[in-house]
Structures are given as structure tokens and as C-alpha cells.
Structure 1
Amino acid sequence: MINLFENFDRDTLDLLRSQKTAGFNIPTVVINDDGFLPKDVTSPINHYCEFDNIENPLYFDKLPVPKFWRIEATAQSGIIYDIDRRRADIYFHKVDNSRLVKQVNWLDESGKIAWSDHYNHSGQKYAKTIYYNGNPVLKKFFNKAGKVVIIEHLVSGDIDLYENHQQIHFNDIVDFIIYYLKSNNYQLDHILYNNLNVPFRVSIRLDQPGRDTLFWHESWQPEMPGNMQYIINNSTRTKHIIIQRYRDWTKTKELVKLNQQNVDFHYLGMIYPHPRGNRLSSNALITTNSDQIEHLDEILQAMPNLHFNIVATTQMSDKLLAYAKYSNVDLYPVASYQKIKNLLSDCDVLFDINHGPELLDTVRAAFEQNMLIVSFKDTIHSPRYISPGNIFDTKEITQMEQKITTALNSVEVMKKIIDTQRIDASEVTIDQYKRTLKIISKT
């Protein structure tokens, strides 16, 4: 049994962490390696490029640039200048605002991308993507000695591997992945995958029997994806489909019962980390990088018993700074990542009521901290982690206040609200997880 994932995104991390929390340590292969995979996760790129296990990342100020060129950086990205000419854009690995170099896009004289250099967790430049007229056409991967070991032709899709002084040609990435899996002796009797692109095609094209499982974490659309319909209507290696979103499962479980001739359907959500419980304190949190906060004046006046911590990673406008006049408001402009983490640990209510982008994945972080999360229909950022009963119309400030006040005054009410919040976010127990994985492992 192996995990075969296309990308290592948040949903994949949740799936892998849930498995491990439930006691299942399954070998995991990720197809698209960005150079920063966890130590217990591998990839074909990791294998052939010979990544070091020692983490010695490249910080932006250590990036080699020509003499007299300079680097200017914020917490999110950087720019390389030759006097006043922009020569390259630097992109960081998004972890704790540490400004570790992940990718550098070098620009031609017209300002278009000429090539990209890719760096891993050891500071190794392991790949280069070549562009033509602003479009990626070729990607080369290097080993530790700087020798080309893989060439990916991005237009045609074929791949060349240089191994043991030989060139091996693959018509596409699926053939390349199958070669890698077989040559490294992975157990391919049961593949767990969560993407209907390359991992699904690997499962279909494998020339050996097996019983695979699709973990489906995307929102359920009115119609099933075409590849899922193919699995349902044909006898393939995929014998199990796991629906991971609770709300989608409740809407479709009757439908899927009618489609179990070639596969069986199960619901299995995630096991989330919760470092603490809700303490029913009056500390509330609002995160924002704008001064557009829905009905903030009305909320402050309607809830004088709450203490509001309003935090931004940027400078605050005069409009927002004016809220310091309220005795139940503390403002934190240009807050550090650590300060935001501390506030998430100290507060028990999150108001997701700012317009504009979500700040630092705050809603997910608040969910893990078992904070009561409330939002307006027009400001909601991550509906996955907010119960529908905690999402209000902009005119329902009184109802919002009543829900929060009632919860903060009763351990039983707060527990019920947080339990519902967790169920709506597709949380399951360790025992539930173990039971379902044991079922699909045996059938």
C-alpha cells in the first residue's frame, strides 16, 4: 500500500496527518515536488536529484547576485534590482514568514520571465524552467553535482531521464511515475490517491491487479467529474471512493448508494489538531490588512463586554487607528507572525468580517484553536471551517451578539457549538478513522 499524491497542498497534508494520527504510517510519494516536502514524504524528483535530508535553506539575503545588484524584500516576496532596473522576482516558501527562497524568476529586457531557478529546503538549485515568449517550455532537474538528470518537455509532455549513463525516454509523466514506482519496489497492490489527474491515470495504466482508493476532498459539484463517472461505470483498480467533506456527503449519500456496482462509497473526514479547548473568555480577534471591516462600529457598540483585538501585518489607516477610542479595543499594526499566533492562542471568538483577502489563513488557525468563529455572508473567507449557523446576514448583528453571549455564558452551549463547528468541518475521531481504513484495507 502507498499514498500517491499529485501535489502536497493543505488537503493532502490533512489526509496524511490524519492517517498518521490514526496510527497508519503509509509510504507516501508526491509527484510534483516543490523542494520543501516533509522528511517522511518522497518523490521522483527527490530521488533522482538526490536531495539532502539536512535542512539548510537559502535565505533571501544569501542569494547570489551580480556585484552591485541589490535585493529588496518584504515578508512575502523580494525583487532583485540592477540600479533601478528590475531583474528578477523572488518567491519565498510560505512558512512562518521566514523568507526562505523557493523560486527566482529572472526577467528579460522586455520584463517577461526568461527562466526560473527553483531551490529546495537544503538551498540546492535543483531545477530550472526555461520560458519562450513568457510561456514555460522546458524544465531541467539537477542532482547535487549540478548534472542534468531529468528534462521535462512542458509543451509535448514527454520526459527524458538520465540514469546510470543512459537516457530513458517516457512519452508522458504517467509512464515516468510508473517506472519510478516499479524500479523502487513500491507495493502497488493498493494505491491511495486524492486527485483524478496523474495519480488516477497511473492507477488506470498499471499493468498489474490491485484495489485502489480515491479520497475525494473537493466540493461536490451538481455532476460527478468525468473520471469519477468512469470509475463508477467500469471495472477498474479503484474499488473505494472516500468522500471527505461532511456537508457534501449528507447531500449525496443517497445518490452514491445507487452507484456501488464497481465501487463502494464511504464518508471519512479529517483528524484535525486542537492544541486547546475554548476557555469562554471575552477576548475576540479580528485580522485584516484593510480598514474595510463590516459593521465594526455597530458590533463594538452591541458587544461592549467583548475585548476586541484588531491585528494587521501592515500599517493601519487613520480610519482604523481611530478605533483606539473604544475602551474595549486594542490595535496591533505591523504585527509579527508570532504576535498573531499568541493572539490566536489567547482569544476565544474570531470575527471573520473583514473585506479583502484572508490574513495568514486565520480562519483555519482559529478552528484548530476551537475558537467560536462568526462571519457575515458577504465577508466569509473559509466557509469550510464555519458552521452555517454562525454565518449571518449583515442586518443580523443582534442575532450574532445573542449567539456569542449565550455561548460565552454556558459551557454546555459552547461545547455544542464547537462540536457542531468541528462536524461541519468534516472532523472525525481516531476510532472512526481506524475503522474505515481497516475496511478499505481488507476489501
Structure 2
Amino acid sequence: MLNLFENFDTDTVDLIRSQNYADLKIPTVVVHDDGFLPDDIDSPIKYYCDFSSKGKPLYFDKLPLPKFWRITADANKGEVFDLDKKRAEIHFVNTDNSRQIKEVQWLDNEGEISWVNHYNSKGDLFAQTYYNNKQAVLRKYYDRGGNEVMTYHLVSGDIFLNYQGKKKHFAGLVDFVVDYLQERKYQLDNIFYNSLNVPFFVSLKLPDNGIDTLFWHEVTGDQLPGNMQYLMKNDTRTKHIIFQKYDEWQKWKSILRSNDDNVKFDYLGMIYPHPRSNKLRANALIMTNSDNIEKLTELVTAMPEIHFNIAAVTLMSDKLMAFDKYKNVELYPSVTQRKVNELITSCDIYLDINHGSEILDSVRAAFEQNMLIIGFKDTLHNQQYISDDNVFKNSDIVGVRDRVVSALSNIKGMKELVDAQRQQAGDMSIESYKKTFGVLKNERIKEQSR
């Protein structure tokens, strides 16, 4: 039994965590390793490059530079200058002001990317990507000693591996992953995957004596993806397709359950942590790294009984600092992580109304704390955690005010609103998750015994 995932994205993390909450300990392999996978997650790159050393991420001011070159940085990214000429952009692992380097994009004289240095969680340079005419064409991977262990031709797909004295050539990433799985001697009788790209094709290439399951978490359009339709029409290792988004399952279930000759369809959400319930406190939180907050003045004045907490990991502009004149507004420029944690636990309303990027995964944090999340249509950052009923037109200040005031004055009403958020996000109890996964396991056993 094995989890085989393409990327270590939020949906993948949620699936792994849900399995762990349900005491389903399944080894996990991630195809695309950015250098910051958890220690208990495997990958071909981690294995061949040997990420076993101790260390910590490279801090931005420790980046090796020519003499007299300088770095400027904020919470989002850094820049390298030779006098006034920008030579590189530094991208961090997180936007929490920790300024730990993930990659450095080195620029040519025209300001275009020439090559990228990739750093891992140990602070090691483990890969370099080279560009030609603005296109990534070649990536080289290195072990801890700086020796080149793998060359990936990104255009043709060819991979050349030089590991422990053995040289191998692979026509593409799928063949490379299949060889890696066999090299590591993973148990490949049951594979769980959540992408119709590389893991899908790996499943098709493995011996046909296994039974696999696709966990589908993406949003579809007017028709199902072609590769999913292929699974429906052909007898492959994939015998079960599990939808993980509640809205998508509601959209397709009647059609899918009538076309399950080769695969069976079902729904299985996620197990999210909820350390506390909503306490109906008149405290609202806004996390932002800009002063472009939609209708902030109107909301602050329309709800004088609500205490607005506005936090940023950077300094605040004069425009935003001017809101300090309102008695029901408290500002937190250059906020510490400790203070963010305090705000997350002390507020019961989250206003997703800032333009620009989301910081500190704040909408997800608010969801897990059972805060009532409200946003405008043009400012949403992570809509799967926000009930459709709590998304308002930018001009509907009255609607936002009435929703907030009504929810805070009615325990039952607040619970219904928060429950709607959780249902839309596919939140499940541990008991329900175990039950559904148990049915899935039993069906696999039946298939294997035929």
C-alpha cells in the first residue's frame, strides 16, 4: 500500500493528515520535491540527492554573493543588487517574515531569468534550472557533495541518472518514477494517487495485479477530465475514484454512479482539526500585507460594536495607520507569529476583504478555528473554506453588517453558519472517515480475491 502524489500541495497535505487522524499509516512518495518535504515523506529527489544531513534553511543574508553586492528584502521576497543593477530575485519558503530561501532566480543583463538555484530545508543547493529564451530547458540535481546525480531535459523529458556508479537513461518522468518505486521495493499492490498526470501514468505502467484508487480533489468544468473518462471506459488497476470536494460530488454523483462498470465512485471529505468552537465574541480579524482593504472605512463605521484587529507581517502605510483614529480598530504592523496565534484564538469573525496575496494561510487558519469567514466577491483568497452564503458584493455593506450582527447574537444561527462552512469544505468526523475508508478497503480485498 502506497500514497503516490504529484505535488505536496494543500490538498495532498489534507489527505495525508486525514489518513493519519484515522490511524491509517500509509507510506507516501511525492514526485515533485521542492526541497522542503517533511522528513517522513519520500521522493526520488530526496533519495538520490540524499537529504539526510542535519541543517536548517538558508537565511537570506547568508546567500553567497560577490564582494560589494547587496540584498534588500521584505517578508515576501528579496532582491540582489550590484550597485543599482538587479542581479537576482530571492523567493522564500513562507511569507511570514522568516526569510528562509527556497530559490534564487539569477537574471541576465536584460532582466530575464538565466538560471535558478534551488535550496532545500538543510540549506543545501540541490538543483539548478537553466533557461533559454525565457523557457526552462534543463535541470541538474546534486548530492550533498555537489556531485551531479541527475540531469533532466525539461523539453524532451529525457532523464539521465548517475547514482552509486550506475548510469541509467529514462525516456520520461513516468519511467523514472516507476524505476524508483521498484528500486525502493515499495509495496505496490494498492496505490492511492490524486493526480491524473504522472501518478496516473505510473499506475498504468505498473503490473496489472494491483488495485489503485484515485482521490479527486480538483474542480471540473462541463465535462470530466479525459483521463478520468479513460479509467471509466477501460479495465485498469484503478478500481475506485473518490471525490473529495463536496460540491463536485453533488454535481456529478448521479451520472457517475450509473457508469461504474470499470470503476466505483464515492465521496470522502477531509478530517480538519478544530481546536475550539466559535465563542461569539465581537472580535474580527483581517490579515493583510497591503493597505488595499475593500470598504474598510465603511465596515468600521457601520459596525462600531465590532472590534477590528488588522495585522500585517510588514510595516503599514500611512493610509492604513490612519485607521488608528477609530476606537474599534487595533493595528498590528510587523506582527509576530506569537501575536498572530493569539489573534487567531481570540477572534470569532474573519474578514477576507484584503486585495493582494493571502498571508500566513490565514483563511485556512480561520476555518480551523471555526471563525465565521466573510468576504467580498473580488477579494476571496481560499473560497473552499467560505460558504457561498457569506460572499457579498463589494457594495453590500449592509449585508455584511447584518450577517455579522445576526451571527454574533444567535448561538444556533452561528453554529449553522459555521457548519455550512465545514460542509462546503468537505469536513468529516474521524468516525465517518474510518467507515468510508473501511468500505473502500473491503472492496479492494474482494477485487483481489476474484
Calculate the TM-score normalised by the size of structure 2: 0.93
Q: Give 1:267's aligned residue.
A: 267
Specify the code of the residue in structure 1 equivalent to 2:371: M
- Aligned partner of residue 24 in structure 1, secondary structure: coil
- Aligned partner of residue 248 in structure 2, secondary structure: helix
Matches within 5 A, 1:130-169: 130-169=130-169
1:384–1:424 Cα contact (<8 Å) kept: yes
Q: Give 1:300's aligned residue.
A: 300
Displacement of 1:211 in angstroms is 0.9
1:97–1:337 Cα contact (<8 Å) kept: no
Rate the CA distance shift 1:351–1:178 in 2: closer, same or farther, 3 A. Answer: same
- Aligned partner of residue 378 in structure 1, secondary structure: coil
Displacement of 1:75 in angstroms is 1.6
Displacement of 1:363 in angstroms is 1.4
Q: Any stretches of 5+ residues in structure 2 without a counterpart?
A: 444-450
- CA–CA distance in structure 2, aligned partners of residues 78 and 378 of structure 1: 28
Displacement of 1:71 in angstroms is 2.0
1:403 correspondence with 2:403: yes
- CA–CA distance in structure 2, aligned partners of residues 57 and 322 of structure 1: 37
Displacement of 1:296 in angstroms is 2.9
- CA–CA distance in structure 2, aligned partners of residues 373 and 347 of structure 1: 11
Q: Give 1:212's aligned residue.
A: 212
Q: Which deviates the most, 196-205 or 96-105? A: 96-105
After superposition, give the CA deviation of every residue in 1:286-324 in whole Å (9 maximum; x if it has no partner): 233344433333322332211111223444444433333
- CA–CA distance in structure 2, aligned partners of residues 64 and 319 of structure 1: 37
1:62 correspondence with 2:77: no
Rate the CA distance shift 1:337–1:141 in 2: closer, same or farther, 3 A. Answer: same
Rate the CA distance shift 1:353–1:82 in 2: closer, same or farther, 3 A. Answer: closer
* Count of matched residue positions in the alignment of Structure 1 and Structure 2: 443
1:287–1:311 Cα contact (<8 Å) kept: yes
After superposition, give the CA deviation of every residue in 1:139-190 in whole Å (9 maximum; x if it has no partner): 1111122111111111110111112322111111111110110111111111
Q: Give 2:231's aligned residue.
A: 231
1:105–1:113 Cα contact (<8 Å) kept: yes
Matches within 5 A, 1:330-369: 330-369=330-369
Q: Give 1:19's aligned residue.
A: 19
Q: Any stretches of 5+ residues in structure 1 without a counterpart?
A: none
2:76–2:95 Cα contact (<8 Å) kept: no
Q: Which deviates the most, 396-405 or 194-203? A: 396-405
Rate the CA distance shift 1:275–1:356 in 2: closer, same or farther, 3 A. Answer: same
Q: Give 2:182's aligned residue.
A: 182
Q: Give 2:448's aligned residue.
A: none
Rate the CA distance shift 1:322–1:86 in 2: closer, same or farther, 3 A. Answer: closer
Q: 4+ residue runs of structure 1 moved beyond 4 angstroms?
A: none
- CA–CA distance in structure 1, aligned partners of residues 66 and 225 of structure 2: 49
Q: Give 1:84's aligned residue.
A: 84
- Aligned partner of residue 116 in structure 1, secondary structure: strand
- Aligned partner of residue 127 in structure 2, secondary structure: strand
- CA–CA distance in structure 1, aligned partners of residues 48 and 354 of structure 2: 46
2:212–2:239 Cα contact (<8 Å) kept: yes
Specify the code of the residue in structure 2 equivalent to 1:252: W
Displacement of 1:357 in angstroms is 3.1
Q: Give 1:201's aligned residue.
A: 201
Specify the code of the residue in structure 2 equivalent to 1:104: V
After superposition, give the CA deviation of every residue in 1:105-124 in whole Å (9 maximum; x if it has no partner): 22233333222211111111
Displacement of 1:30 in angstroms is 0.5
Q: Give 2:412's aligned residue.
A: 412
After superposition, give the CA deviation of every residue in 1:173-217 in whole Å (9 maximum; x if it has no partner): 111110110111111111100110000000011134211111111
Specify the code of the residue in structure 2 equivalent to 1:221: G
1:324 correspondence with 2:324: yes
- CA–CA distance in structure 1, aligned partners of residues 55 and 96 of structure 2: 16
Displacement of 1:284 in angstroms is 0.8
Q: Which deviates the most, 400-409 or 235-244? A: 400-409
Q: Give 2:93's aligned residue.
A: 93
2:96–2:360 Cα contact (<8 Å) kept: no
Rate the CA distance shift 1:82–1:332 in 2: closer, same or farther, 3 A. Answer: same
- CA–CA distance in structure 1, aligned partners of residues 56 and 393 of structure 2: 49
Displacement of 1:339 in angstroms is 3.0
2:5–2:29 Cα contact (<8 Å) kept: yes
Specify the code of the residue in structure 2 equivalent to 1:138: L
Matches within 5 A, 1:24-35: 24-35=24-35
Rate the CA distance shift 1:296–1:56 in 2: closer, same or farther, 3 A. Answer: closer
- Aligned partner of residue 169 in structure 2, secondary structure: strand
After superposition, give the CA deviation of every residue in 1:234-279 in whole Å (9 maximum; x if it has no partner): 1111111110011111222111112211111111111112222211
- CA–CA distance in structure 1, aligned partners of residues 355 and 152 of structure 2: 41
Displacement of 1:358 in angstroms is 2.9
Q: Which deviates the most, 427-436 or 329-338? A: 329-338
- CA–CA distance in structure 2, aligned partners of residues 102 and 71 of structure 1: 15
- Aligned partner of residue 182 in structure 1, secondary structure: helix
Specify the code of the residue in structure 1 equivalent to 2:359: L
2:312–2:335 Cα contact (<8 Å) kept: yes
- CA–CA distance in structure 2, aligned partners of residues 127 and 377 of structure 1: 40
Specify the code of the residue in structure 1 equivalent to 2:283: N
